[in-house]
């Protein structure tokens, strides 16, 4: 029995002849008669046959074209007719699924439509049509996903005309759940009202945005709001640098001092720490605020604490916030008090919106490759196809 059909990737074929010119031409026919697809009765009669030409993968730098003899069967049991079907080749298609997938993956990897039209002997419009088909296929598979239990919410810039978009990320599986235009409650209201499975969301991670916090409280009532660790630490540094600007405007312009001020104290060498303390000795208030800032950052970096350990840390944390409330950092203390519960919840989790920010970099790269998107739905479809799945399409069998 010939194994040529399995080598080609389409089982059940018997190769009649092969011709090599500028491409590889293969003539083949079915190696067996299947039972009736309607009543499963064997012993079919061949009523007629016709030739079907299908492009199927590339061997080296040559396109392999299959010329298939397709029998038309007649069942003596149910008296019905049907044509022979081949694995991986859809009816009335001029290319196999393996060939279409090969074109999609090449175009997805950055090969231009013009180049693919030359190497695969198809038109640029066909490349675009096949690409959109596979993207839509993966998007339709994603429609059946349930709302994630650990949800990350963040915004990113879309276009100047349409403004910002909101990203909903599945932080547990490291995938994008959805992208919606707008970042306000009225713009997201219609989508969130019809979102299925909102009650199963257990954790919502976000930056210190009052808008997103009100959205989470209203539409995800069973979820615990967790502040994003990076944004909280950045907020602390921003408030401290503003106070530094007020005490020493000239020193604030020194890039070396800025680098030392922003770093964590335990990441400074002994020489760097001595130089920084020597500078801060001229500003006693600023020196005390720097020490308080370092203590505050240590609290922000706590994670995976049990409930009892987090409760034991809370009095010292509140004492530090009250101390900052009587200092030039009172605005920071007020913000931390208003976000006290999400910050304390942050101590018990390791997840952050760093996963979402990483996807934002990928989305920006996609927009640059496409020279920008005007239609948001096309952009959303592309994002969900590339960031909402593992990038692998299973072959049709």
Average pLDDT over residues 314-337: 94
CB 176 within 8 A of CB 384: yes
In terms of Cα–Cα distance, which of 62, 74, 91, 92 is closest to 33? 74
**Please, what is the Cα angle at 101 between 123 and 63, to 5 degrees?**
55
The span from the CA of 217 to the CA of 24, in Å, is: 62
Task: Report the percent of the chain where pLDDT is more than 90.
Answer: 59
Which residues, in sequence order, are bridge partners of residue 59? Answer: 62
- Hey, where are the domains in the chain? 1-94, 95-144, 150-227+352-387, 229-346
Q: pTM for the complete prediction?
A: 0.74
Whole-angstrom distance, CA of residue 44 vs CA of residue 198:
54
Q: pLDDT of 118-138, one tens digit each?
A: 989 899 999 989 988 888 777
Using one digit for the tens of pLDDT, what is the confidence trace for 253-310? 899 999 999 999 889 999 999 999 999 999 999 999 999 999 999 999 999 999 999 9
Phi, psi of 45 (to 5 degrees): -105, 135
| Domain 150-227+352-387 superfamily per CATH | Ribonuclease H-like superfamily/Ribonuclease H (3.30.420.10)
Residue 387 pLDDT > 90: no
Q: Examine the pLDDT at 169 and tell me if it is beyond 90.
A: yes
φ, ψ at 166 (rounded to 5°): -105, 130
Eight-state DSSP code of residue 11: S
Q: What is the pLDDT of residues 236-246, one digit of tens each?
A: 999 999 999 99
Torsion of CA 48, 53, 59, 61, to 10 degrees: 160
Tell me the per-residue pLDDT of 200-228, one tens digit each, with 9 for 90 and over: 999 999 999 999 999 999 999 999 999 99
* Sole residue written with tokens 């069942």: 75
Number of H helices and number of E strands within the chain?
A: 15, 10
pLDDT tens readout for residues 147-159: 899 999 999 999 9
């Amino acid at each position: 029995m010939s194994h040529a059909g399995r080598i080609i990737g389409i089982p059940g074929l018997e190769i009649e002849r092969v011709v090599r010119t500028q491409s590889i031409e293969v003539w083949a026919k079915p190696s067996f008669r299947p039972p009736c697809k309607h009543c499963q009765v064997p012993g079919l009669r061949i009523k007629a046959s016709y030739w079907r030409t299908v492009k199927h993968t590339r061997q080296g730098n040559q396109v392999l074209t299959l010329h298939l003899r397709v029998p038309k069967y007649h069942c003596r049991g149910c008296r019905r007719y049907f044509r022979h079907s081949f694995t991986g080749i859809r009816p009335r298609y001029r290319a196999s699924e393996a060939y279409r997938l090969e074109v999609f993956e090449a175009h997805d990897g950055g090969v231009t439509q013009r180049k693919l039209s030359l190497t695969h002997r198809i038109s640029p419009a066909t490349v675009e049509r096949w690409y959109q088909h596979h993207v839509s296929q993966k998007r339709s598979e994603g429609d059946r996903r349930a709302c994630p239990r650990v949800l990350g919410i963040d915004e990113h810039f879309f276009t100047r005309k349409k403004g910002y978009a909101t990203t909903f990320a599945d932080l547990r599986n490291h995938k994008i759940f959805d992208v919606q235009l707008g970042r306000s409650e009225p713009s997201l209201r219609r989508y969130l009202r019809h979102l299925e499975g909102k009650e199963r969301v257990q954790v919502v991670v976000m930056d210190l945005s009052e808008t997103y916090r009100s959205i989470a409280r209203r539409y995800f009532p069973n979820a615990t709001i967790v502040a994003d660790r990076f944004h909280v630490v950045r907020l602390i540094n921003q408030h401290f640098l503003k106070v530094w600007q007020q005490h020493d405007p000239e020193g604030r312009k020194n890039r070396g001092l800025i680098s030392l001020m922003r770093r964590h104290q335990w990441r400074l060498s002994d020489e760097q720490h001595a130089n920084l303390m020597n500078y801060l000795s001229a500003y006693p208030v600023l020196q005390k605020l720097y020490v308080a800032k370092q203590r505050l950052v240590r609290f922000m970096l706590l994670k995976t604490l049990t409930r009892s350990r987090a409760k034991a840390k809370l009095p010292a944390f509140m004492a530090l916030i009250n101390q900052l409330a009587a200092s030039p950092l009172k605005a920071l203390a007020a913000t931390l008090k208003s976000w006290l519960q999400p910050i304390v919840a942050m101590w018990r989790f390791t997840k952050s919106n760093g996963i979402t920010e990483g996807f934002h970099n990928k989305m920006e790269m996609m927009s640059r490759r496409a020279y920008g998107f005007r239609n948001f739905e096309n952009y959303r479809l592309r994002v969900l196809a590339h960031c909402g799945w593992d990038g692998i399409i299973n072959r049709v069998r």
